[in-house]
């Protein structure tokens, strides 16, 4: 959790601040990155506090030396779902809306009938997974370079790929006590087995940490 907080604080107070709402939103919702990229404002219900997930956006090869945006359906029927918004996720969307208005970053492109995408890059086009991966690489490199330059005891960040943010978000929800069945719905997992593998890992890690606290108390 400390690394996550450091990661977000660094983004918010650096030249990467433009991407702050994007990464907060991913870490608060556990959406697949393609689902985040494909999210439109029509999918967002701020009044009732949820986003409706029915599709994802990909940027795929369509021929020799040619790529194009494509709207795809979720991996399974369970991928079509309503995902509740935490206060932080709602705030991130509000900040993103404000930024798009103030910086005139509203997307004008239409892809397979979808338009007005929530998260747009500096060219007013929707993000793609590959771009988010490159941004993460730059952030981690600069973060680690800065903490090395100024010294201190802050741990460097590991390599972060976009899917890791979804995994981290799911772990945080499990740590907070979200029950497995609800977590399966939020994640859009087709099988409870997929959810339980992560849930059990988090539970076992929590138990180990609690026992270590007991051991430390007895030593002291």
Tokens of 15: 């030249």
**What mean pLDDT is reported for the chain?**
87
Query: What is the pLDDT at residue 204?
Result: 63
Query: What is the pLDDT at residue 203?
Result: 60
The predicted-structure confidence for 92-134, as pLDDT tens digits, reads as follows: 999 999 998 888 777 889 999 999 999 998 888 899 999 999 9
Tell me the percentage of the chain whose pLDDT exceeds 70: 89
Using DSSP's 3-state secondary structure scheme, residue 146 falls into helix
Query: What is the pLDDT at residue 104?
Result: 79
Using DSSP's 3-state secondary structure scheme, residue 27 falls into helix
What confidence category does residue 50 fall into, taking pLDDT thresholds of 50, 70 and 90? very high
Q: Which residues contact 121 (CB under 8 A, 6 or more apart)?
A: 127, 131
**What mean pLDDT do residues 15-20 have?**
96
**What mean pLDDT do residues 12-31 have?**
96
Task: Report which secondary-structure segment, H or E, holds 56.
Answer: strand 56-63
The predicted-structure confidence for 162-208, as pLDDT tens digits, reads as follows: 999 998 898 888 888 888 889 899 988 888 887 777 666 666 666 56
What confidence category does residue 5 fall into, taking pLDDT thresholds of 50, 70 and 90? very high
Query: Of 118, 95, 114, 94, whose CA–CA distance to 106 is shortest?
Result: 118
Residue 213 has pLDDT above 80, yes or no: no
Residues identified as active-site: 32, 75, 163, 166, 189, 199
What confidence category does residue 148 fall into, taking pLDDT thresholds of 50, 70 and 90? confident
Query: What is the pLDDT at residue 202?
Result: 65
Query: What is the pLDDT at residue 201?
Result: 67
pTM for this model (two decimals): 0.86
Query: What is the pLDDT at residue 152?
Result: 66
**What mean pLDDT do residues 35-52 have?**
96
Query: What is the pLDDT at residue 81?
Result: 95
What confidence category does residue 219 fall into, taking pLDDT thresholds of 50, 70 and 90? low
The predicted-structure confidence for 72-87, as pLDDT tens digits, reads as follows: 998 788 899 999 999 9
Distances (CA, A) of 139 to 32, 65, 148: 20, 29, 14
């Amino acid at each position: 959790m400390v690394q996550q907080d450091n990661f977000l604080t660094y983004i918010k107070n650096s030249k990467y601040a433009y991407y702050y709402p994007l990464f907060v939103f991913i870490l608060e919702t556990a959406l697949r990155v393609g689902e985040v990229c494909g999210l439109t404002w029509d999918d967002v219900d701020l009044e009732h506090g949820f986003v409706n997930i029915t599709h994802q956006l990909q940027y795929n090869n369509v021929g020799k030396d040619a790529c194009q945006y494509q709207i795809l359906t979720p991996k399974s029927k369970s991928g079509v779902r309503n995902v509740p918004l935490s206060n932080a996720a709602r705030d991130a969307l509000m900040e993103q809306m404000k930024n798009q208005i103030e910086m005139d970053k509203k997307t004008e492109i239409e892809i397979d009938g979808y338009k007005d995408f929530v998260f747009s890059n500096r060219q007013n086009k929707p993000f793609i997974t590959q771009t988010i991966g490159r941004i993460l690489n730059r952030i981690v490199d600069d973060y680690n370079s800065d903490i090395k330059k100024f010294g201190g005891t802050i741990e460097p960040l590991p390599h972060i790929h976009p899917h890791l943010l979804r995994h981290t978000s799911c772990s945080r929800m499990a740590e907070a006590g979200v029950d497995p069945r609800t977590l399966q719905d939020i994640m859009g997992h087709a099988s409870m087995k997929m959810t339980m593998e992560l849930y059990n890992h988090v539970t076992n890690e929590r138990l180990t940490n609690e026992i270590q606290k007991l051991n430390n108390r007895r030593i002291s």
